[in-house]
């Protein structure tokens, strides 16, 4: 018998995957890789130790060799993820091979070299000397056997169940290959899109790094390479994972204003973004679409806009992950439009292209270099109906009430106790009851209670405040100050302490001075055969911040709907229309001002 040690993310999952392999005698969950003695699950999971969730594999070498065991291990992980495994994030969920001797180290390194040669991608599995192994608590041992239903649910919801061959991205299904080959060159945007969604890029708001997750660099590097291939100059994927590329003006058009197009690379951390398995639905019949074996159904009952997509081609998920159309569709459409324009020889001014990280956690513009980008005007290409262009966002602020109570024995509390939790409830009751996200739409603003916690001694309320109208936005913030004053007048100064922080402003304030951006976009849509209209954004975009950073930047739709979850879907005809809109805008700005 021989014993070897590995870290493959969630030990429940990797134990179940390897247990039952011919020659494997036992697989035990535990902790390894750190220096702390006797670690416990709660500390390892919370990243409070240097340990990873790990497994001890005892096996019969006469049946399965170490090299074959390595094959099984790598077939059940995502070896390209440096930040964790599937939905589980953090160092304790990163992967490692713990070698006991030089033979094991060399075997692991050969395996990794082979995968890198096959895929052209950097493997992120650590190869480290074995130090110690601490068996996990009893409840974690043989979890897959003791709790088979929970185990299956964990596999499904984590995205691990459909991992194919351990290589994130896998291969296109015959259905997808047949579809894209049948349609030919006109499907370049779709081909790019289907390739990009296979690359996991979830951002991670739990840290202050840029990019917040290193896996975004995988797509960033690929996009930079594509920019170079289609003829961009001065291409860079910088230290913060911002990708920039530039196409110089054709002769005679050097004086045209430089026009930029921007999309973001990250997907939302709200739902699993790993091992995306897109499916093509041709000639959609207007009814329910079963999303793989997940039990989920994409239905017009929940998404009424689907009724208008009858007869079109949809790209959907298998129900276990988001699709990633927000905003990999934008990246695919921008690159395809510029590629086709350059190949056609059409004249144009300078074109600036950028792809950003961390938009989904509100930090996409944090490190954006407007001066380096060099565009006079730009459009973000980011999600939504392709017939809609957006130039009006919310004004946004975050508001926090800290409530300080006075705690005495309940039996002697008459006219003395100030229960902070009750005061917090009173504060919330002083806000307009019908001005919440549930009760508002369109241009209507709201107060949204995001978090509430407290006890008798202290309480905390966290709100976001939103309104399209500058005047109403200021009135909303003023109302919060009035509430603070009334509470302090009633209970004593310092009972309520309000902090309000502005987050972003309605970019309409900037765009109204450059309204040609809206007019030209609507004209380009109509010329493409679309019913063009404007739509207020009930949120913010990177374009909001970029506009106030000196780069006027409204948003174009991409043909992607129901973002951030398993029901996300793209409409192929709208993606192709987006490509045409972008090309027509480049043409319009090549002669702008002449």
Q: Which residues are catalytic?
A: 266, 359
Exposure string over 292-301, b if 16+ CB within 10 A, otherwise e: bebebebebe
Cis peptide upstream of residue 327 (ω within 30 degrees of 0)? yes
Nearest 5°: the CA angle 67, 106, 125 is 80
Q: How far is CA 148 from CA 13, 142, 153, 250, in A?
A: 11, 10, 9, 63
In the block, which residue shows the tokens 């995001």?
450
Q: Which of 568, 228, 577 is nearest to 381 (CA)?
A: 577
Q: For residues 415 and 418, what is the distance between their CA atoms, to the nearest angstrom?
A: 8
Helix (H) / strand (E) element for 227: namely helix 216-229
Token look-up 């709660």 returns: 42
**For residue 136, what is the DSSP state?**
P
What are the Cα distances from residue 260, in Å, to 8, 219, 244, 454, 585? 42, 20, 10, 47, 10
Cα dihedral sign, 117-118-123-129: negative
Distance CA 109, CA 355 (A): 33
- Phi and psi based region of residue 442 (left: phi greater than 0; alpha: psi -120 to 50; beta: remaining): left
CA distance 403 to 127: 50
What is residue 365's three-state secondary structure?
coil
Whether 332 and 559 have beta carbons less than 8 Å apart is answered as no
Q: How far apart are CA 278 and CA 233, in angstroms?
A: 33
List beta partners, residue 58.
Answer: 3, 26
By C-alpha distance, which of 378, 51, 138 is closest to 246?
Answer: 378
Q: Would you say 319 and 296 are in contact if contact means Cβ atoms under 8 Å apart?
A: yes
CB 471 within 8 A of CB 506: no
d(CA 49, CA 302): 44
In three-state secondary structure terms, 278 is coil
Distance CA 198, CA 80 (A): 12
Quick one: which H or E segment has residue 584?
A: helix 572-590
Provide the total of helices (H) and of strands (E) in the chain, helices listed first: 17, 26
In what side-by-side order are the strands of the sheet with 279-281? Answer: 279-281, 314-316, 569-571, 560-561
Q: Is 158 exposed, middle or buried (0-12, 13-18, 19+ CB in 10 A)?
A: buried
Encoded tokens for 203: 């951002």
Give the CA diameter of the chain: 87
The percent helix, strand, coil of the chain (3-state, each to 5) is 35, 20, 40
**Distance between CA atoms of residues 487 and 403, nearest Å:** 10
Pairing of strands 259-264, 377-381: parallel
């Amino acid at each position: 018998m021989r014993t070897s040690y590995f870290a493959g993310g969630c030990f429940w999952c990797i134990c179940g995957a390897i247990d039952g392999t011919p020659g494997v005698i036992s697989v035990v969950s535990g902790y390894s890789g750190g220096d702390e003695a006797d670690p416990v699950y709660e500390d390892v999971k919370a990243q409070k130790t240097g340990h990873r969730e790990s497994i001890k594999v005892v096996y019969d070498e006469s049946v399965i060799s170490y090299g074959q065991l390595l094959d099984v291990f790598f077939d059940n992980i995502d070896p390209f993820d440096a930040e964790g495994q599937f939905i589980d994030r953090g160092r304790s969920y990163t992967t490692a091979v713990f070698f006991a001797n030089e033979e094991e180290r060399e075997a692991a390194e050969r395996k990794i070299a082979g995968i890198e040669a096959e895929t052209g991608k950097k493997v992120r599995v650590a190869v480290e000397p074995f130090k110690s192994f601490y068996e996990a608590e009893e409840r974690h041992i043989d979890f897959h056997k003791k709790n088979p239903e929970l185990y299956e649910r964990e596999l499904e919801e984590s995205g691990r169940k459909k991992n194919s061959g351990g290589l994130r991205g896998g291969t296109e299904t015959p259905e997808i290959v047949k579809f894209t080959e049948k349609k030919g060159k006109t499907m370049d945007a779709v081909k790019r899109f289907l390739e990009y969604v296979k690359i996991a890029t979830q951002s991670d708001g739990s840290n202050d790094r840029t990019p917040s997750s290193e896996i975004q660099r995988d797509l960033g590097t690929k996009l930079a390479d594509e920019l170079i291939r289609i003829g961009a100059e001065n291409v860079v994927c910088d230290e913060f994972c911002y990708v920039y590329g530039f196409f110089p003006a054709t002769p005679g058009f050097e004086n045209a204003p430089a026009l930029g197009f921007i999309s973001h690379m990250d997907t939302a951390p709200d739902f699993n973004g790993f091992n995306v398995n897109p499916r093509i639905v041709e000639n959609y019949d207007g009814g329910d679409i079963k999303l793989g074996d997940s039990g989920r159904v994409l239905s017009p009952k929940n998404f009424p806009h689907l009724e208008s997509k009858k007869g079109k081609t949809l790209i959907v998920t298998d129900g276990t992950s988001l699709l990633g159309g927000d905003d990999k569709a934008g990246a695919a459409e921008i690159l395809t439009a510029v590629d086709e324009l350059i190949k056609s020889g059409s004249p144009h001014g300078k074109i600036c292209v950028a792809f950003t990280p961390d938009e989904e956690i509100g930090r996409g513009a944090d490190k954006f270099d407007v001066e380096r980008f060099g565009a006079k005007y730009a459009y973000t290409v980011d999600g939504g109906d392709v017939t809609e262009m957006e130039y009006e966002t919310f004004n946004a602020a975050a508001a926090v009430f800290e409530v300080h109570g006075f705690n005495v024995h309940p039996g002697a509390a008459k006219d003395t106790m100030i229960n902070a939790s009750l005061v917090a409830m009173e504060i919330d009751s002083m806000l307009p009851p019908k001005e919440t996200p549930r009760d508002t739409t369109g241009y209507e603003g709201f107060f949204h209670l995001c978090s509430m916690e407290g006890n008798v001694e202290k309480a905390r309320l966290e709100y976001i405040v939103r309104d399209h109208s500058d005047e109403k936005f200021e009135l909303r913030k003023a109302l919060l100050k009035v509430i603070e004053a009334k509470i302090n007048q009633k209970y004593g100064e310092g009972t309520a302490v309000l902090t309000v922080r502005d987050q972003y402003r309605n970019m309409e304030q900037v765009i109204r001075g450059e309204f040609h951006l809206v007019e030209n976009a609507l004209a380009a849509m109509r010329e493409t055969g679309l019913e063009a209209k404007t739509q207020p954004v009930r949120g913010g975009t990177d374009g909001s911040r970029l506009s106030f950073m000196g780069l006027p930047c409204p948003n174009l739709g991409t043909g992607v709907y129901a973002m951030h979850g398993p029901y996300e879907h793209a409409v192929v005809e709208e993606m192709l229309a987006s490509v045409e809109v972008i090309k027509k805008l480049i043409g319009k700005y090549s002669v702008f001002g002449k």
